[in-house]
Structures are given as structure tokens and as C-alpha cells.
Amino acid sequence: MAKKIAFFDAKDYDIASFDEANADGKYKIKYFETKLNEDTVKLAKGYDVVCVFVNDTVDEKVISQLKKKDVKLVALRCAGFNNVDIEAAKDKIGVVRVPAYSPYAVAEHAMALLLTSVRRIHKAYIRTKDFNFSLNGLMGFDLHGKTVGVVGTGKIGRVFMDICKGFGMNVIVYDKFPAEGAGIDYVDINEIWEKSDIISFHCPLTEETYHMVDEKSIMHMKKGVVLINTSRGALIDAEALLNGIRERKIGAACLDVYEEEADVFFEDRSGHILGDDVLARLISMPNVIVTSHQAFLTKEALTNIASTTLSNIEEYLSTGTCVNEVK
């Protein structure tokens, strides 16, 4: 009998990629548009696996309900797992993730945001649509020779480092857990703040990295620094970021993630008044670019996410363990 998967927060691109990966019909997948949380966990009854994404809530209460419904596995179709209470899941239910779906997708998006921001591509695009070909206000700066601080040296961080080196940038790097034997020269986090013209974040969200960019760290940054975040929103205190922009300390911000994105990103809110005043003010700033957590969204990445997720499920249900299990 085919194993049953309850797939939460399903979008059209998810459905297309997973249906392709499951072309042989090995799994019976039910796609739910709603996110998984305490109110919707009842939908998981009768399923072997729940498949979740970054804004699904898998806390202690949800895990307890999943256990009661005899769900055996939480399959994350992403790398991060900060939305899952791993301690609560211990000895109750398995948790697996996709650690590397396409580091190129995210790293390239980070660079795309940076280039768009510093060369005013987005503003030029809007102008020329109105046949306005003036160059006033579009002056940027060369990336060549600038110092970029990279926070996090996992696969994505390393790909971004290589891209920056290709532009002739001076790369300095921080990671609490340095990659031994990788030939990377690490610096202290304070050196990142003090010396970087541009800082890009590629680290997981943990208790220690929560709000690592706050009023105190911003004070130590160069005037005019450009911040890029394609990792997790809560690495940056949004209020502190807003104040830093207002005070002209932060020159620009390129955000693919936002700490309170759960009820906003991935949805069409164009016909609604945005209730998040901080996000609304950030978007209104001329030196802020916000994309809605789309850095992962390439054909290659979606294919890898679907195939790895189904492989994780197969391995865990067959053996009770998985190489990509989160413990």
C-alpha cells in the first residue's frame, strides 16, 4: 500500500515538482494550501508523513497531536529547521530536512539583490517603462575592491564567496564553527561589522544568531554598509534595521526574508492593507529591496528538493533513520 503524505502550505510550483518526482505513484500525496499549526494539525490524521516548509509551525503541541495521530515523520522540504521543536520531537517523531538543494540558487539571488540595489536596476526598469531615460539618481558604486563580510560558510556561503571573488572583492568570513581544512581564513564577528562595505548572511537561525544584527552591532558597522539576508529573517532585528536606515548608518538593505514573514510571504496581499507597519516602512524605503523568500525558487532547486524529500521519506520509513535526519 502506498505511503500517505500530508503536504502543507502547498503552492503550484510545489505540486508540479513533487508530482514529477512521484510520477510512479509510490506515494499518495494530499496537498493542503493551509499551513500546519495547532488548528490544522487535525488534517494529518490517517497520514504517515507530514511535509512542511519554513512557515509551518511544528511546536510541542503540534508534535504531540501528530504523535497521537500516528504520524511517523516530519519531512522538511527546506534546509532550515528553526520552526520545529526538535527537543519535543525527540523519541516521538522523526524529523528530516533537505540540507542542500541548490546553494547556487540562493547565492546567485543574493548577488542579484546586491547588483540590483547598488546599480539601481529596479529604479531604471521602472523609469524606462515610462520612457524616462534620465540618469539622475541612478549612480551606484563598483563592487571591485570592496570588502564583503560573509557570515556562515556552509555550501551557500562558500558559493557566494566564490561569486564575490569573481567580482574582485575582498572577502572576509565569520563562522562560529569554522570549516576545518577548507582553506578559509576566518575573522572575529566584530571585524565583520567594522571592516565590511557589504555583509551577507548565510547562517542558520539559532538562539545565538537571533537578532545578531541589532542596535549594538549596527553601531560598529561602516557608515553606508549594505546588508543582504537570504537566510532567516530573525537574524536581523527589523526595528533596529529600520532605525539604522533612518539614521543613514545603513546604506541599503537587500532582504529575501523577514522575521515576521509567516503570515505575509508566499501570499498575494495586493488587495489588502499590510498590517505589519515595520515591513510596510521598510518596503517604502528607496534603498531597501524586499523579495518574498524566493531565493530558492529555481527549476533545479525545486527538482532537488522534491527528489531529496521523497528519498528522505523512503529511507526513514524503511530503516527508522536517515542521513538527513535532524537530531
DSSP states along 261-312: -TTTTTS--TTS----HHHHHHHHSTTEEE--S-TT-SHHHHHHHHHHHHHH
Contacts of 253 (CB under 8 A, 6+ apart): 226, 227, 228, 229, 241, 245, 282, 285, 287, 288, 289
* Sole residue written with cell 535526519: 325
Extract the C-alpha cell encoding 287.
Answer: 534603498
Question: How far apart, in Å, are the Cα atoms of 143 and each of 107, 149, 171, 200, 231?
Answer: 16, 13, 11, 14, 22
Task: Supply the pLDDT for residue 313.
Answer: 98
Nearest by Cα to 78 from 95, 53, 110, 103? 53
The string of DSSP letters for 71-119 reads --EEEESSS--TTB-HHHHTTT-EEE--S-S-HHHHHHHHHHHHHHHHT
Which tens digit of pLDDT belongs to each residue from 9-23? Answer: 999 999 999 999 999
CB atoms within 10 A of CB 94: 21
Q: Which residues are designated catalytic? A: 232, 261, 293
Task: Supply the pLDDT for residue 62.
Answer: 98
User: Rounded CA gap, 106 and 256, in Å?
Assistant: 10
Q: Rounded to the nearest 10 degrees, what angle do helices 121-129 and 103-118 cross at?
A: 70
The SS3 call for residue 318 is helix
Extract the C-alpha cell encoding 55.
Answer: 512557515
Give the CATH superfamily of 103-290.
Answer: NAD(P)-binding Rossmann-like Domain (3.40.50.720)
Measure CA 58 to chain center.
17
Extract the C-alpha cell encoding 267.
Answer: 501570499
Question: How far apart, in Å, are the Cα atoms of 116 and each of 88, 246, 254, 307?
Answer: 42, 21, 9, 32
* Sole residue written with cell 531615460: 133
Cut 0.85: pTM above it: yes
Residues of the chain where predicted confidence (pLDDT) is lower than 50: none
Q: Is the distance from CB of 114 to CB of 143 less than 8 angstroms?
A: yes
Task: Supply the pLDDT for residue 283.
Answer: 96
103-290 and 3-101+298-319 share a CATH fold: yes
Measure CA 313 to chain center.
22
Task: Supply the pLDDT for residue 101.
Answer: 87
Architecture of domain 3-101+298-319 in this structure: 3-Layer(aba) Sandwich (3.40)
Extract the C-alpha cell encoding 133.
Answer: 531615460
Q: Locate the domains of the chain by residue range.
A: 3-101+298-319, 103-290
Query: If residue 16 lies in a helix (H) or strand (E), which one and from where to where?
Result: helix 12-21
Contacts of 34 (CB under 8 A, 6+ apart): 8, 9, 40, 43
Which tens digit of pLDDT belongs to each residue from 54-91? Answer: 999 999 999 999 999 999 999 999 988 999 999 999 99
